[in-house]
Amino acid sequence: MAGPNSGAGSSIESITAANAMIRARGNALRRFPAPDKDGDRLYPLASPTGNPSFEIGPEDTIFAIGSCFAREVEKALSSAGKRVLSREIELGEVGESLGDSANFYNKYSIHSVYNEIKWALERETFPGADIVYKIGAEKYADPQLGMGRLDFPLETILDFRHKYLDGMAQVAHADVVILTLGYVETWYDTKLDLYLNVIPPAQLIRAEPERFEFRVLSYQDVMDGLEDLYALLNKHRTKPLKMLITVSPVPLLATFRDMDVLVANAYSKSVQRAALDQFLLDKQGIDYFPSYEFVTLSNPEVAWTRNDYRHVSPDVVHRIMSNVLTNYVSADATEADEMTPQALTASAKMLHKLEKYEDVLRLVEEHRSVADDTAPVLMLEATAARRLQDLSASYAALTKAKAVAPQRPEALERMIMLCRPMREKKEARVLLGEHEQAFPGRIEFRQKVTWV
């Protein structure tokens, strides 16, 4: 019998030592950053690099599915001008009653993603009323759609459910599918032989304590789910499958395991991250993109928002999506800047938050062609220069911002106020005249400029 040292076994990769040395010499990113070498690749915002194997065409449509981080991906891509089919689902009065807080778009495990797409593409498999649990008089819950209570007649809920599945079916027509894997702590209905998306209502657990199970997915469970989803998509798509997969950086809110939530979350993320490397080995047109690494390796002060260490800052999401767009959207790489305007704005804002004003100016200068057409970036440049007591540079940036966005008063008003420390009363009078003509309704601002 072969021993543990007998060969490659189930290694995800095996090449000769000579070839490994050759490849290492050609990999400019093989060494972990240090403060004095490539430190800006890690702090304050980590910038890991993926390996694109396909292009996203300018007119390609996108469908995102998965945990709550998928919603942030959708927003960022939509604001960058991409058509996101998963944001175009019309759900009528039931959907409107749930609102964003119900999170019924979110799919937290690979099984809940698979369930919803299978039902959408193979409608005869949809369990129908069986997955709409009655919890009171005309009160229902659907643990596939989140924690929201459905206070509608069953027929209305089922009509809404089919509209939802119609929207999910767009995954077969989108040019690019984006999947974010969430958690491996799951819930299972033994009666329906079905993984749920969220915990079933407490009254159902009390009424049937043996029906529902808490399950923690294994590496093989995740792998099987990914393979099943891959086969399902390929079965129903007419376009070649282009897919980006990531592990959501959003951690567990709480754990049902008998351990520290920090330890439970580490397993949840790492087992999915490990499964993805194995899954991608023989897949064409499917890439991993490192949003998990972007967030978890970055300075926490800029990575998170809402002061809860769980929700990713919109600025970081824009920066991640900029990385995706600049690496995947078809363009002449020699002419394209590596940052979108949204990402440059986001990066400058993050540096401002850390009071790294010199870094703001350095960043803007590195991306001058983008900055000079982006008013929010120019305003941030002006603020950074002002904090560093470089009044002339601040005034120059405000002048550019005024030219880029003449319909907005902020740049002009800051130019006027900057004239005082610059001892430019004559210039201030000229600008006040421009202000009165362009913004006659903002008389209160002009009344404050008494020093002229």
pLDDT of residue 70: 83
pLDDT of residue 4: 57
> Per CATH, which fold does 337-452 belong to?
1.25.40
Q: What 3-state DSSP class applies to 47?
A: coil
Q: What angle do CA 288, 294, 300 make, to 5 degrees?
A: 150
**Mean pLDDT confidence for 363-385:** 94
CA distance linking residue 177 with residue 61, whole number of Å: 9
pLDDT of residue 319: 80
Comparing CA positions, the residue from 385, 395, 390 lying closest to residue 360 is: 385
Using the predicted structure, report yes or no on whether residue 100 has a pLDDT greater than 70: no
**Mean pLDDT confidence for 342-371:** 89
Comparing CA positions, the residue from 36, 30, 40 lying closest to residue 297 is: 40
Query: What percent of the chain lies above the pLDDT cut of 90?
Result: 64
Domain coordinates in residue numbering, the chain: 47-336, 337-452
CA distance linking residue 359 with residue 381, whole number of Å: 10
Q: What 3-state DSSP class applies to 216?
A: strand
**Mean pLDDT confidence for 341-354:** 84
Tens of pLDDT along 138-171? 789 999 988 778 889 999 999 999 999 999 999 9
> What letter would DSSP give residue 56?
B
**Mean pLDDT confidence for 95-112:** 76
Q: What is the pTM of this model?
A: 0.79
Q: What CATH number does domain 47-336 carry, 3.40.50.1110, 3.30.70.1290, 1.10.443.10, 3.40.50.740?
A: 3.40.50.1110
Beta-carbon count within 10 A of 348 CB = 28
| Highest mean pLDDT, choosing among 42-46, 116-120, 201-205 | 116-120
Phi-psi region of 451 (alpha: psi -120 to 50; beta: other; left: phi over 0): alpha
CA distance linking residue 304 with residue 306, whole number of Å: 7
**Mean pLDDT confidence for 199-217:** 94
Instruction: Collect all residues with Cβ–Cβ distance below 8 Å to 341 and sequence separation of at least 6.
Output: 370, 373, 374, 377
pLDDT of residue 335: 41
Q: Please identify which residue in the block is written with the tokens 């798509």.
A: 237
Using the predicted structure, report yes or no on whether residue 300 has a pLDDT greater than 60: yes
Higher pLDDT, 42 or 436: 436
* Residue 240 banded pLDDT, cuts 50, 70, 90: very high
Tens of pLDDT along 36-67? 888 878 887 888 988 899 988 888 999 999 98
**Mean pLDDT confidence for 224-228:** 97
